[in-house]
Chains A and B, each alone.
Chain A
Amino acid sequence: MYTYVSLIVLFPLIGFLINGLAGSRIKSEKASGIIGTSAVMLSFLTACGIFIEMLGLPVEERKHIVTLFQWIGAGSLSINAAFQVDQLSILMTLVVTGVGSLIHIYSIGYMHGDKGFWRFFAYLNLFIFAMLNLVLADNFLLMFLGWEGVGLCSYLLIGFWYDRNFEKSTTSDAAKKAFITNRVGDFGFLLGMFLIFTTFGTLQFDSVFGQAALYEKGTPIIFWITLFLFVGATGKSAQIPLYVWLPDAMAGPTPVSALIHAATMVTAGIYMVARSSILFALAPATMHIVAVIGLATAFFAATIGLVQNDIKKVLAYSTISQLGYMFLACGVGAFTAGLFHLMTHAFFKALLFLGAGAVIHAMHEEQDIQKMGGLKNYMPTTYKTFFIAALAISGIPPLSGFFSKDEILWKAFADGSPILWAVGALTAGMTAFYMFRLVTLTFEGKERFDVHHTHPHEAPNTMTVPLMILAGLAVVGGLIGIPHSLGGGNQFEVFLEPVFEKAAFKMSLPYHDASAAEYLLMAVSVAIAAASIFAARTVYLNRTDVAARMAQQFPGLYKLLFNKYYIDEAYDAAVIMPIKKTSEIVLWKGVDVNVIDNVINTGAKLVGFASEMFRRVQTGVTQTYAVVFLVGILFILGWLMM
């Protein structure tokens, strides 16, 4: 089965080519949709086959490298187009293609009637292709190719409705913002890659990590490599300071938000950190930075999420916050916990976004939750699945989010510090609060829209079936990672352990037995989540005046949160305006107009002046020419004779 790994990547590419090249001629939404969806489903089935075969193999034989061809060969640089199939990459492949398939099915219903239907599916397939390259690559460069590919697809899909307005500008501006912000991160990734090449002389994962294992912990060069790699991760995975693009990425169609900006692409940074775990394990300083940045992002994004009114914006900040959790896990060395949360998050966050999409669909493109309410009577399936997802993300046992989030919090406490745990638990409480604020305002209470004008309706089957499947996964997804303390075998960790063996050895984290502390922390975080849910439901269902009163009582804080800490404005003032002004005043009016234009014009004038003088030679009198000719010949003859 392993040799078929290239098929996983090939199917979406074929789907992209068919829809991309012939899509406008297919003219049938059904055909386009089926081609796009089946391409991803075939990939998923192939990945399942490999996964099942892998489970049957002994642990030492589970990793395979399938080389397709030599991609670049120049001097000592040799890069293969090769796929590394191991526990980590197959997990990511399953998540990408599995969740991807469901979102493709959903998109058939969601994008129904859109004039760019085939274009949408072409982009989605291209995205899956790039993402699979990213997770299956066996070297940094091929990974970077996928990394850039997903960035491109993200750009194309955010700006998919290029003729629509988004907030104060257009969707194209949002797309550009995402792309350019990612460029900053990618620059870090590139620098990291250059450093890796100069240090290890190769970009191939196995040989880089093999050589790295011989280094001492805390070597400066490894610190810089990991720091630059992490800068790349902050761009792609929307962490402080480069998270600003993700909220704006909500300008894209909702399935895109679900697939790219919640479940898969934004987790690429976590995947990259986990893949390079051995490097990070050698750089404790970077690990601290990762943990702190992750936690800070989780916390600040959650506070912003508390007051947003756009249904997708709340989910966007929630995604940033959850990604922060995953980095917190990586930062304290709990890579498996981070990946576990990555997987469960893919389930419930995709579900939340798709549910939000169904709501937006039903409300005719209305996204303001203040203008919703009472939708549970109109769209029961969406309500139920959304509710399950909200419970899962809040960390209510035994749903998937509970296990993964608790694992992270416990590891943050045990291997990090109590402060990390405390802030993490507080963030978990805020998560539960804003999720149930969202659920309550959207689905419960009285209708706050014009009932005679808007008639919300349940979404079609193509949309509700993926919702139900994802809801099932959000419920049971955590069961594969039940910790030892709760009597489970933590299958997930056991499965992934070989990948992080070296890193774990370098970090030599102590083994924690199930202890009273763990149970206590678990109980506390569940209690916080439950209390937050209760508070949110009370505030937004029965005591609707409380929220407004709170906002009035702390107007400064409320405005600060509502305006997202004015980070966009700050970046605008600190980065964008200076660059714009420098370009305009110095580069354009200074260098371009005065220096470059002047040099060119002076040269032209000199030539003109010289020819003005020399053209007098051309008299038009033939005989003058003849005399000059004669004199010339005489001169040459004289010279020859001498």
Chain B
Amino acid sequence: MVPLNYYLLLSAFMFSIGVLGVVVRRNAIIVFMCIELMLNSVNLTLVALSAYIGDPTGQMLVFFVMVVAAAEAAVGLTIIIALFRNKQTVNIDEINLLKW
């Protein structure tokens, strides 16, 4: 039996990578993947804690998160494709139309 702490530490590590990726990377697809990474790290926490406490509610919540993530992936990718068609780039530094 792997102790709970390991799961949580892994999860925190994955989440930090995700945050870092979102903040520093310029490629929209990578940023997008990092967001997915954050979601999955949260999923991991939920499952681990659910097993630890013995309450299946957390595992159910994971399914919801996955459904939302799937939907988000579909919409997000669509936006990225649309952006690329218009601007011939997915570099988010160059996508700053909402500037003052």
Contact = CB atoms under 8 A, between A and B. Distances in A.
Query: Do A and B share a complex?
Result: yes
A637 to B, nearest CB: 13
Nearest to A612: B100
A531 interface: no
B96 A630 contact: no
Given A621-B93, A622-B92, A623-B92, A630 B23 contact: yes
Interface of B: 19, 22-24, 31, 92-93, 95-100
7 contacts: A615-B100, A618-B100, A620-B99, A621-B92, A621-B93, A622-B95, A623-B22
A619 interface: yes
A620 B92 contact: no
Interface size grouping (class) on chain A: 10 to 19
A616 interface: yes
B51 to A, nearest CB: 25
A620 B94 CA distance: 10
Nearest to B25: A623
B76 to A, nearest CB: 13
Interface in A587-642: 615-616, 618-623, 626-627, 630
Contact of A626 (B22, B98, B100): B22
Contacts of B97: 620
Interface residues of B, dominant DSSP: loop
B43 to A, nearest CB: 19
A630 B19 contact: yes
A619 B99 contact: yes
A634 to B, nearest CB: 10
Contacts of A619: 96, 99-100
A616 B99 CA distance: 9
A619 B95 CA distance: 11
A508 B8 CA distance: 110
Contact of B100 (A616, A623, A627): A616
A468 to B, nearest CB: 88
Contacts of A616: 100
Nearest to B92: A622
Given A621-B93, A622-B92, A627 B98 contact: no
Give the most central of A615, A618, A622: most B CB within 10 Å: A622
A620 B22 contact: no
Nearest to B35: A626
Nearest to B99: A620
Contacts of B22: 623, 626
